[in-house]
Amino acid sequence: MKKITFILSFVALMAGGTLLAQSVDQGKRFLYYHRYNSAQTELQKVLDKNPNNIDAVYWLGQTMIENRDSAGAKALYQKALSSNGSAPLLLVGMGHIELLDRNTNDARQRFETALSLTKNKDINVVNAVAHANVDAPAGDANYALEKLNQLGKEKKDIRNAESYLIMGNAYRKLADGGGAVTAYQKALSLDPKLAAAQYEIGKVYLTQNNTEYFLPAFEKALQIDPNYAPALYDLYYYYFSRDINKAKDYFNRYVAVSDPTPSNEYDRTSILWAARDYQGAITQAKAKIQELGNNADPRYYKLIAYASNDLNDSVTAKKLPRSIFSKAKTQRFRAPGLCFPCTDVKQVPGQ
């Protein structure tokens, strides 16, 4: 699935509000920071106390989708709909799943029903419909823009930064960089503390390989919010093959504000290789393979091969199982993340 993150504007935790409401808001904040495991844990706590909390169900499903568990999200929405069949957000959530399954007709029917039930005036429902159509490859970005613009006409103006973030993502899906930047700038004008909007501006220029604009945009996002992990990771990735000391600094800052993941552990090992500590990379990769067994990331084997080759030990590289290499989808060794042009990637001898 082409991943386009559902960026959330900050939700203030109101003094005197219920613990349950605060937990939903906290889950959404974790989602904003791309801390999907933390978000899932927080939202599940809410449902453990109240299985009929519609907001918690919807956002837990969205978190599962971001965590690449659309099957789990589908089961969650189906179960909730069995007792809350006319809940607009649940209908939209199920429509999102149907788009991911490429059942576009069924999805559109769900969206239209949800919009009709709310008379096309509930901004949360409209945002959810627009996001689903931007996020899913089979979604219709023009439909997303139509519904957002329609809401703006009815209200004379959309005073919601989240709506403009989704609008920017829709323009990006349509390869309209100018429209995307304008929408993101509008989001920032409504919420100057919304680091996500500045980050997305950087992503637009990144697709154009415009270093002069995307690097300052990522840095500005961190000036707005030093804890915004996506910007930290993209800067780590950019400097990985250019300035390993800068890369390590960004990576360490990223790890400090993100959830632990197996990918982070692989990145940590890949940094050793980029820093020319080939033996250290080999030792650490072998330790992870020993620890994880068949669940080890196949890239560890490729990393051992490349590091061995750099140490002029071609014999070790040739002994590695060829079946392992077929599992590693990357054609060149690079840190996972954004796809820069091949000329920007550190080439490994023989690759």
If one counts every other C-beta atom within 10 angstroms of the C-beta of residue 257, the result is 15
The residue among 125, 145, 151, 124 whose CA lies nearest residue 133 is 145
Assigned token pair, 43: 């939202």
pLDDT exceeds 90 at position 328: no
Mean pLDDT, all residues of the chain: 86
Return the ∠ at Cα 340 (arms to 334 and 345), rounded to 5°.
45
Kindly indicate the confidence band of residue 129, based on its pLDDT and cuts at 50, 70 and 90. Answer: very high
Instruction: Say how far apart CA 205 and CA 200 lie, in whole Å.
Output: 9
The residue among 290, 311, 312 whose CA lies nearest residue 300 is 290
Return the ∠ at Cα 248 (arms to 242 and 253), rounded to 5°.
130
The C-alpha torsion from 24 through 27 and 28 to 29, rounded to 10°, is 120
Domains of the chain by range and CATH? 1-149 (1.25.40.10), 159-221 (1.25.40.10)
Instruction: Say how far apart CA 250 and CA 240 lie, in whole Å.
Output: 10
Instruction: State residue 151's pLDDT score.
Output: 85
Among 120-129, 144-153, 190-199, 284-293, the minimum mean pLDDT is found in 144-153
If one counts every other C-beta atom within 10 angstroms of the C-beta of residue 213, the result is 15
3-state helix, strand, coil in the chain (%, to 5): 70, 0, 30
For 55-99, what is each residue's pLDDT tens digit?
A: 999 999 999 999 999 999 999 999 999 999 999 999 999 999 999
Percent of the chain at pLDDT > 90 equals 77
Q: Which residue matches tokens 């690097």?
A: 215
Instruction: Say how far apart CA 201 and CA 221 lie, in whole Å.
Output: 9
pLDDT exceeds 60 at position 329: no
pLDDT exceeds 60 at position 9: no
Kindly indicate the confidence band of residue 159, based on its pLDDT and cuts at 50, 70 and 90. Answer: confident
The residue among 326, 280, 279, 283 whose CA lies nearest residue 302 is 326
269: left (phi over 0), alpha (psi -120 to 50) or beta: alpha
Instruction: State residue 315's pLDDT score.
Output: 74
Among 36-40, 135-139, 292-296, the minimum mean pLDDT is found in 292-296
HSE at residue 245, side-chain half, CA atoms within 13 A, is 0
Q: What is the DSSP letter of 136?
A: S
Instruction: Say how far apart CA 173 and CA 137 lie, in whole Å.
Output: 9
Instruction: Say how far apart CA 52 and CA 56 lie, in whole Å.
Output: 8
Q: Could you tell me how many residues make up the chain?
A: 351
